[in-house]
Amino acid sequence: MDRIRAEINNDRRAFIKKVLNGTIAGSLLLVIPAGASEVAEQLSGMRAEQSIFTKKRFAFIVDVTRCIGCGSCCVADKLEYNVPDGNYRTWVERYIIDDEDNVYVDSPDGGLGGYVEPRKDIPHPVRDTFFVPKLCNMCKKPSCVQVCPVGATFQTEDGFVLIDKERCVGCGYCIQACPYSVRFLNPETKTADKCTWCYHRVRKGLLPACVNVCPVGARKFGDLDDHESEVYKILHLPHVVSVLKPGMGNKPALHYVGLRREVV
Amino acid sequence: MGDNHNTHVKWVVGFLTMAAILGLIVKKVLVPEGFGTYGHYRAGAILDEFNRETRHMTNDSCLSCHPFIKEMHLEGIHRTVSCEFCHGPYGDHIRNGKKVATLPVKKGEEITALCLRCHNQIIRARPKESIKMITMPDHLENKKVQTDHNCDQCHNVHAPLMYVKQAREMMHMSSREDK
């Protein structure tokens, strides 16, 4: 009797799952043609993906040695999401290291207006300067998901850490838990908000907005299962590749090329 | 006698049943639809994120309607610069395939300010292999033009070296004489 009941339950679960998958996939199909179809696919094969989770392994790579700090990415990000003033889903930091090995970091308005003024408060000759773009690290073991008390922050099977605006109660635990400080409380929705690697664009075959606008190719996005992709080649060739705060154990999927030791 | 001896058991069973029913109703009300389908979250949240409006398109989508600009932009060294960075997002211009507004065209000092976001030598930290840098107003003085000139008076913003090359050709200057 118990065995039969278990089987029925199992069947029921599978059935519900199938129906739900069907409806969600169906609604995806309805949505895809609008807006995106007239533009060539930037991420090949994404428009053919019909399941709720793609089978791809996405990676985001920031090349610190290329970034010129123009702030195109910040502008695109703000306009794509209408981010309220004073909050940043992505931002660009300027690092200056002087001859005495002092490190100066600034990011006026998150780099949104670009870097137009040199820093004048540095007493010693400057040894090294560079820009570091920051965004969500899309950790494989996200601490923000772990602490959310209402299941509003979650990780999809294809690696995106997303926020459910309907569920979020704005308690701010995730904002404190994120080792990379990428989360903020959106003053308009009163919910947690952060970079999504442009999930909505990626699923429609477009690159994240910041990757799309970067004039020097400092931001790269692609599928690690595609061995011809730029991200695969960078991660599998002898480049100086590292992640931020590896000691936190969050296993970020965001990698940096040419990251200096001073960057936190 | 009869049934009276187990009244308290009935009370307990009745209470527990009511509690269970109440619990189920509360759960039904509080737990949103689709919660737990894929994990400890609402399945519809993925769809919500998916359906977010795409406000930026690609350079190809802009240039498909602007053939004259396309020719210049793709020829020049600014071909990697995004249209939407200077002009604003596609979504402000086209909605459902129809033009809804005209994007502003930058003029005069706005252009110089945009140019200097990338090309300002004073901001060190810019890798030479990525981009050519200039110092203002030294650049204008070196080129022997008035120091109140804006960049677009010599450089086509879409193809910065187009006019410069054309001028050199006209003057039969084959190689670059400047530093």
| pLDDT single digits (tens) A102-113 | 999 999 999 999
CA A101 – CA A194 distance, rounded (Å): 33
Contact residues on chain A for B41, CB-CB shorter than 8 A = 151-154, 164, 167
Average pLDDT taken over every residue of chain B: 89
| Residues A71, A64: Cα–Cα separation, whole Å | 14
**Tell me, what's the pLDDT at B5?**
77
Among chain B residues, the shortest Cα distance to A93 is held by B125
Identify the H or E element spanning A254. Answer: strand A254-257
Asked whether residue A249 carries a pLDDT value surpassing 70, the answer given is yes
Neighboring chain A residues of B78 at a CB cutoff of 8 Å = 215
pLDDT one-digit tens code per residue, A40-57:
889 988 888 888 999 899
Q: Are A131 and A91 in contact (CB under 8 A)?
A: no
Residue B68 CA to residue A118 CA, distance in Å, equals: 38
Residue A244 CB contacts under 8 Å (≥ 6 apart), including other chains = A137, A180, A252, A254, A256, A259, A263, A264
For residue range A214-243, list pLDDT tens digits in order.
999 999 999 999 999 999 999 998 888 999
List of chain B residues whose C-beta atoms are within 8 Å of the C-beta of residue A68: 118, 125-127, 130-131
Query: B61 and A66: CB-CB below 8 Å?
Result: no
DSSP string, A183-232: -EEETTTTEEE---S-HHHHTTTPPPHHHHH-TT--EEEEETT-TTSHHH
- What is the identity of the amino acid at B71? E
**Interior angle at CA A237, CA A231 and CA A239, nearest 5:** 90
Does the pLDDT value for residue A35 go beyond 50?
no
Q: Do A212 and B58 touch (CB under 8 A)?
A: yes
Q: How many CB pairs under 8 A join A and B?
A: 158
Q: Residue holding tokens 């919660």?
A: B35
What number is the average pLDDT over the span A110-135? 92
- Coil, strand or helix: which one is A161? strand
For B78-118, write each residue's pLDDT tens digit.
Answer: 999 999 999 999 999 999 888 999 998 888 899 999 999 99
Q: Return mean pLDDT, chain A.
A: 88
> Confidence band (pLDDT; 50, 70, 90) for A264?
confident
Complete edge-to-edge strand list for the sheet that includes strand A241-242: A219-223, A58-63, A254-257, A241-242
CA distance B170 to chain A (A): 31
Cα A60 from Cα A143, distance rounded (Å): 19
> pLDDT-derived band of residue A137, with 50, 70 and 90 as boundaries?
very high
E-strand stretches of B38-143: 94-95, 98-99
Using CB atoms, pick whichever of A95, A114, A207 lies closest to residue B117. A114
DSSP string, A40-97: PPSSTTTTT--SSS-S--EEEEEETTT-----HHHHHHHHHHTPPTT--SSEEEEEEE
Q: Would you say B141 and B147 are in contact if contact means Cβ atoms under 8 Å apart?
A: yes
Residue B47 has pLDDT above 90, yes or no: yes
Mean pLDDT, range A83-100, rounded to an integer: 95
Q: How confident is the model at residue A20 (pLDDT cuts 50, 70, 90)?
A: low
- Residue A257 has, within 13 A of its CA and on its CB side, a CA count of 22
Average pLDDT rounded to a whole number, residues B62-90:
92
Q: Which two tokens stand for residue B117?
A: 């976001």
Tell me the three state secondary structure of residue A14: helix
C-alpha–C-alpha distance, residues A178 and A144, integer Å: 6
Pairing of strands A191-193, A184-186: antiparallel
Binned at pLDDT 50, 70 and 90, residue A37 comes out as low
Q: What average pLDDT does range A167-172 have in this prediction?
A: 95
Residue pair A191/A163 in contact (Cβ under 8 Å)? The answer is: yes
Assign domain A32-264 one CATH number from 1.10.10.10, 3.30.70.20, 3.40.50.40, 1.10.8.50. 3.30.70.20
Which residue in A213, A214, A257 has the most chain B C-beta atoms within 10 A of its own C-beta, making it the best mutation to test that interface?
A: A213
| Statement: residue B6 has pLDDT above 90 | no
pLDDT of B179 strictly over 50? no
HSE on the CB side for A72, CA within 13 Å?
A: 28
Residue A49 has what pLDDT? 84
**Which residues in chain A touch residue B115, judged by CB atoms under 8 angstroms apart?**
none
B-interface mutation test, from A29, A98, A154, A211, most B Cβ less than 10 A away: A154
What per-residue confidence (pLDDT) applies to A117? Answer: 87
Q: Are the Cβ atoms of B35 and A76 closer than 8 angstroms? A: no
> Which residues of chain A lie closer than 8 angstroms to B58, CB-CB?
39-40, 42, 206-207, 212
Q: What are phi and psi of A254, to 5 degrees?
A: -85, 125
In this prediction, residues B169-177 reach a mean pLDDT of 72
Distance CA B164, CA B154 (A): 7
B1 min Cα distance to partner chain A (Å): 38
Quickly list H helices, B31-178: 44-50, 59-63, 67-75, 83-87, 109-119, 138-142, 162-170
Q: How far is CA A242 from CA A177, A234, A238, A254, in A?
A: 22, 11, 12, 9
- Beta bridge pairs of residue A223: A58
pLDDT, tens only, B7-39:
889 999 999 999 999 999 999 998 888 998 999
Q: How far is A160 from chain B (nearest CA, A)?
A: 10
A123 preceded by a cis bond (ω within 30 of 0): no
Contact A151 B47 (CB under 8 A): no
Q: Which residues of B touch A31 (CB under 8 A)?
A: 50-51
Taking 80 as the threshold, does the pLDDT of residue A26 lie above it? no
User: Residue range A72-89: average pLDDT?
Assistant: 96
